[in-house]
Structure 1
Amino acid sequence: PRRPRARLIGIDAARGVALIGMMAVHLIPAATDDGDVSLAWLLANGKASALFALLAGIGIAFSTGGRRPPRGLAWRAGVLSLLTRAVIIAAIGLAFGYIVGLEDAAVILAYYGVLFALAIPFLRLSTRGLVVAAAVAAVVMPLVSQVLRSDLGPQSANPTLTDLVTDPLGLLTQLTLTGVFPALVWITYLLAGMAVGRAVLSSRRVVGQITLLGLALALASSLLSMLLLTVAGGGSALRTDALQTMDFVAYQETLTWGPSGTTPTNSPWWLAAMAPHSGSPLDLAFTIGVALAVLGVCLLLGRGLQPLLRPLAAAGSMTLTLYSLHLLLVATPLPRGLGNLVLQVVLLVAFALVWSKSHLRGPLEELVWRATTAVRQKVLGSSGSSRSRETTAGR
């Protein structure tokens, strides 16, 4: 296979970081023996999956024109290939719903399918337009979600193909509103990633600006949340509202470990909090900031330290395959803990390194690539074949 450019090495390395972070959240207990938040959860809970989604947005941008938004037949080809990718990845995710219990891991793939479909109206936007769309989504969609979920219960299981047949409306509600990765809110990450993917990532200056922007966004959102909850009195109001419908232990646990995807609806002040994996506006801003900073560092390191990043990049070049293998391992009786995490990381990275020596894409990535390429070529003709590095889910 051709040697990837430094830009792709850095992006693949960031995908590798996101994959390992999500694995850590699945395998490491949330709390230590002393009852404190574990280091793995502190570093990765809500942040790894956000990075994963932001990188998916970059992949969409790369596969639909890169810096130049698609027009005409190219747009039609991009739409149909993206829909094809969405269907395949969602089907894989719904199939995993039979194998993996929600208590073991929340499967993100079906949500990805919906996110890819929701990205279609934004394919023609420039970097600036996508930045504006992401900012609007970060503010508006959590508010919309808070209102729409007032009479809806939380997710209780990973969705399956059976749900698609027996309760399609319930499945759509789960994937867009009440699930662990609700697409109406998480579209923010995809839009932010698409904006990055339309930028000039070959420029060291642009990458440096993205990194600094990420750090500034994470710091500013943390500071704003603190001011709203202390100086503005939001913390007291939140506690008063929340304790009317939940006990103190549940309230404290939600603030500390997060509500698993959606803010509680018993107080509007939850939207000012930054509980991990809550999908509040400030949680979205903070996790996008962290994701941009991690991506920027990986891109900068990819320019001069490619051998050091190669294991991470190999894993990141086939995250759909490795994530699926991880889910299969999660479904086994192997005990949770650091040992299991280390074992899985070693096995999956070793597989990626060996496979990538003779293949350009992972097995599942090849499946998705062949399907989307066939669709694209049918629209554009043989001269419009997609680039060999077209990315897939989590890529």
Structure 2
Amino acid sequence: MDQRIRGDTMSDDPGHQKAAHAAVPVEAGRVPRKRLPGIDAARGLALIGLTAIHFLPAENEQTHEATLSWTLFSGDSAALFALLAGVGLAFSTGGRHPRTGRRMTGARVGVAVRALLIFALGVAINSLMPEDPPAFNILTYYGVFFVLTIPFLHLPARTLFLSAAGFAVAAPVLMLELGDQVPEFSSGNPTVIDVLTDPGATLAQLLLTGTYPALPYLTYLLVGLGIGRLHLHHIEIQTRLLAIGAGLAVTAQLASWLVLYIFGGYHQLTHAASLDEETLDGILIWGPDDALPAGSWWWLAITTPHTNMPLAIAWSLGVSLAVLGAFLLLARKVGPWLLPLSAMGAMTLTLYSTQLVLLSFELHYDQPELWFLAYLVAAAVFAMAWQRAAGQGPLERVVAMASRAAGRAVVGASADPGRR
């Protein structure tokens, strides 16, 4: 029987991740490595961040300033989910040694099946959401994320990092250039009806204009895919992730401040976009109601959550890298203490989907803090109990079985990763 090394995607990867923990064969002579709990713990933190954004208010009622939860988690939690999804895809397609030939073809088919299932789950949950939704579902975007990563699965880490840099620049330019030309989306959470009746607007939303547009988010996926090709068990790599991430985040914020407030970008935006200072300040904190106002390339310098401009991507990517590096280092010393986080992070597809269904009933508005805490406690207890009793989360297991079956159908039973 083949030895196997386990990897993970929304968890299997929501946001998420979540796909499933996939098993990949260890080539002859290689010693399988144990699962890295720091990755699951980082994903657990990302789930907490999205939960805080969904349940807790974004604005302080007295001061009208952004709340701590908004400041800490808005945009960055989703970016961390996407980064970890890329890491999981790398693990499930060979880790440091990407699969080749028919086995890579089978892996690509498995990722495509995973993407379809997660997308289908997302649009099904969206049908439960009210017209003014309490949360924007990342699962529908995840399906597109995975499809777009398929051509990159065989590439080495350096090429993946360079490709990610290209998307970090090109995607924001496309968003500014095409923002007023692509169709407006009809629903914050696309349903099956939206996909069938307005496919053009839905596709534009999923790629460019939505809350988690796939083209700029490919930056996080590809960086994560490249990270998954590295020696992640080595303390040197873990330390570099922390240091590079912190440096990138600080550099992005400093560059934005210099461009906006020293080199005149702020005043250029008020004139070019015909905005008063109060409106511009609101956009810089909360983001625009729809697309960024047309007429100025100075928008490329902002770091506002969910605007997906280059420096905003750099900031969220830096935070995500630093969080991943920190948790990998922490897990070396206090791994067992991270169990509540890592257990939740190992089944974020199940927990995130359950959260969205719960939110659809809109019961949390009167006591958001209580609902937030109750959900987290229930999620942690369930995740630890389920993991101890059954291992892989329920939805993660279904997605993993389907993707492995699809891969086996292409590769052939003799190359089945689970048996000879």
TM-score range, shorter chain: over 0.9
Residue 216 (structure 2) pairs with residue 185 (structure 1):
yes
- Per the TM alignment, residue 150 of structure 1 is displaced from its structure 2 partner at its CA by 2.3
Residue 375 (structure 2) pairs with residue 347 (structure 1):
no
Give the alignment of 1:299-378 within 5 angstroms. 299-336=328-365, 337-378=368-409
- Per the TM alignment, residue 193 of structure 1 is displaced from its structure 2 partner at its CA by 0.8
- For residues 11 and 31 of structure 1, the distance between their equivalents in structure 2, rounded to whole angstroms, comes to 31
Structure 1 match to 2:22: none
Q: Which moved more, 1:100-109 or 1:171-180?
A: 100-109
Q: 1:207–1:6: structure 2 CA closer, same or farther, 3 Å change rule?
A: farther
Residue 44 (structure 2) pairs with residue 16 (structure 1):
yes
Q: 1:387–1:172: structure 2 CA closer, same or farther, 3 Å change rule?
A: farther
Among 185, 193, 199, which residue is 1:162 paired with?
A: 193
- For residues 103 and 334 of structure 2, the distance between their equivalents in structure 1, rounded to whole angstroms, comes to 35
| Bigger share in helix | 1
Deviations, residues 328-348 of structure 1 (Å, cap 9, x unaligned): 111123223211110110111
- For residues 260 and 358 of structure 1, the distance between their equivalents in structure 2, rounded to whole angstroms, comes to 45
Q: 1:131–1:260: structure 2 CA closer, same or farther, 3 Å change rule?
A: farther
- Per the TM alignment, residue 106 of structure 1 is displaced from its structure 2 partner at its CA by 0.5
Among 212, 216, 220, which residue is 2:243 paired with?
A: 212
- For residues 55 and 47 of structure 1, the distance between their equivalents in structure 2, rounded to whole angstroms, comes to 12
Structure 2 match to 1:283: 312
Q: Which moved more, 1:249-258 or 1:185-194?
A: 249-258
- For residues 332 and 280 of structure 2, the distance between their equivalents in structure 1, rounded to whole angstroms, comes to 45
Q: Which moved more, 1:161-170 or 1:82-91?
A: 161-170
Give the alignment of 1:80-91 within 5 angstroms. 80-91=109-120
Contact 1:6 1:302 in 2 (8 A): no
Q: Which moved more, 1:168-177 or 1:203-212?
A: 168-177
Contact 2:256 2:311 in 1 (8 A): yes
Contact 1:57 1:192 in 2 (8 A): yes
- For residues 64 and 55 of structure 1, the distance between their equivalents in structure 2, rounded to whole angstroms, comes to 14
Deviations, residues 271-312 of structure 1 (Å, cap 9, x unaligned): 111112210000000100000000111111111212210000
Structure 2 match to 1:195: 226
- Kindly report the root-mean-square deviation, in angstroms, between the aligned alpha carbons of the 2 structures: 2.0
- For residues 411 and 213 of structure 2, the distance between their equivalents in structure 1, rounded to whole angstroms, comes to 34
Among 55, 63, 74, which residue is 1:27 paired with?
A: 55
- Per the TM alignment, residue 380 of structure 1 is displaced from its structure 2 partner at its CA by 2.4
- For residues 177 and 139 of structure 1, the distance between their equivalents in structure 2, rounded to whole angstroms, comes to 13
- Per the TM alignment, residue 320 of structure 1 is displaced from its structure 2 partner at its CA by 0.4
- Per the TM alignment, residue 125 of structure 1 is displaced from its structure 2 partner at its CA by 1.0
Residue 99 (structure 2) pairs with residue 78 (structure 1):
no
Deviations, residues 29-79 of structure 1 (Å, cap 9, x unaligned): 111121111000000000001001111111111111111122111210111
Contact 1:274 1:283 in 2 (8 A): yes
Structure 2: segments with no counterpart, 5+ residues: 8-32
Letter in 2 for 1:111: Y
Letter in 2 for 1:300: L
Structure 2 match to 1:385: 416
Structure 1 match to 2:173: 143
Give the alignment of 1:43-62 within 5 angstroms. 43-62=72-91
Residue 136 (structure 2) pairs with residue 128 (structure 1):
no
Structure 2 match to 1:224: 255
- For residues 35 and 153 of structure 1, the distance between their equivalents in structure 2, rounded to whole angstroms, comes to 33
Structure 1 match to 2:30: none
Structure 2 match to 1:392: none
Letter in 1 for 2:72: L
Structure 1: segments with no counterpart, 5+ residues: 389-395
Q: Identity of aligned pairs, percent?
A: 42
Q: Which moved more, 1:274-283 or 1:259-268?
A: 259-268
- Per the TM alignment, residue 364 of structure 1 is displaced from its structure 2 partner at its CA by 0.6
Contact 2:41 2:338 in 1 (8 A): yes
Structure 1 match to 2:12: none
Letter in 2 for 1:208: T
Among 79, 83, 94, which residue is 2:123 paired with?
A: 94
Structure 2 match to 1:239: 270
